[in-house]
Amino acid sequence: MQFTAKQIGEFLNGTIEGDENAQVSTLSKIEDGKLGSLCFLSNPKYENFLYKTEASVVIVAKDFIPTQPVKSTLVKVQDPYSAFSVLLEKYNEVANMSREEIGIHNSSYVHPTAKIGQNVYVGPFCCIEENVVVGDNAKIYAQTYVGAGSNIGKDCVFFPGVKLYRQTSVGDRVIIHSNTVIGSDGFGFAPQKDGSYNKIAQIGNVVIEDDVEIGANTSIDRATMGATFIRKGAKLDNLIQIAHNVEVGAHSVVAAQTGISGSTKLGENSVIGGQVGIAGHLNLGKRTQVGAKAGINFDTEDNKQWHGSPAQPLKEWMRSTVIFKKLPEVDKRVRELEAKIAALTAVIEKMTTTQTP
């Protein structure tokens, strides 16, 4: 399908600079823009590509002023990144309209007590156990397992290989990517006098609220008792470990390879970088920000930024980083000073010995 710059501008409530009849039929990155493609400029570091790109239409910020001639038609909007994400979603919807994905594949097993909503798709080799409820318009792709007593809301998408253990609760419009496991046992073992460990039964569940997205190969453990919560609008990346009884706050973002230990509560609107480690039984404040590879083993207040391992407040960490970079130079100077002190000490001792009657 083709769209004109004018149509795109009207859809995004933007203004046009250039040829409003310029046509696009595909989306691209600005550095790869070709004739007939639409891209966007949000990060100033990519501005140089704007003056080289062959893209027919580029979405830019409302207050953007080019410093060189631009061949492309510009659509000016309040937030280029958000505007382009809206177009990506619309493009994805149009691309999938041709796929008829309704009904249950004949190779899948659905227990007679399961309740399946309207316009639901269940792909090949899925298993839906007893007393499961699946909301309207859900799409459950191949080799997905949904354990007994689980509830899946409306308009959810589970990509191939998702595994939901028993009694998992999933809200509306939740997206879970391939090979993610929801509701596996929490890491609970009681040490014994002989050095062995007894398994502690994990009888709770996982509750995922509306509008959550979870990346591939992520694991979210069921609670020992009660529930592990992923609150409304949270976004989890690939390869994340969420332990038992954790609560991830609403609209929080957690990047790949992060681990959150048991019973920790992450405040709403928090941003956690990649490979962060967070110890158990902590309370992290609202809008907490943690840089990549940081280690958190203490409670935090609202609106704080943390970096390093063990973590420090951002400004302290930046000062420490500067000092750390200078350590080889400092070490060299210390060694030189030690050598000079040793030499002076030797001279003083020699003088003292010579003057002794």
Give catalytic residue positions.
Answer: 244
8 Å CB contact between 220 and 228? yes
Q: 242: helix, coil or strand?
A: strand
Give the residues across from 265 on adjacent strands: 247, 283
Q: Round to whole Å and give the CA distance between 110 and 284.
A: 41
Contact between residue 297 and residue 310 where contact means Cβ atoms under 8 Å apart: yes
Longest dimension (CA), the chain: 109
Structure tokens at 215: 């990346």
Q: Exposed, middle or buried by CB within 10 Å (0-12, 13-18, 19+), for 201?
A: exposed
Q: What burial class does residue 327 get, using C-beta atoms within 10 Å of its C-beta: 0-12 exposed, 13-18 middle, 19+ buried?
A: exposed
Q: CA distances (Å), 18 to each of 60, 69, 215, 233, in order?
A: 13, 11, 39, 38
> With contact defined as beta carbons under 8 Å apart, do 154 and 137 qualify?
yes
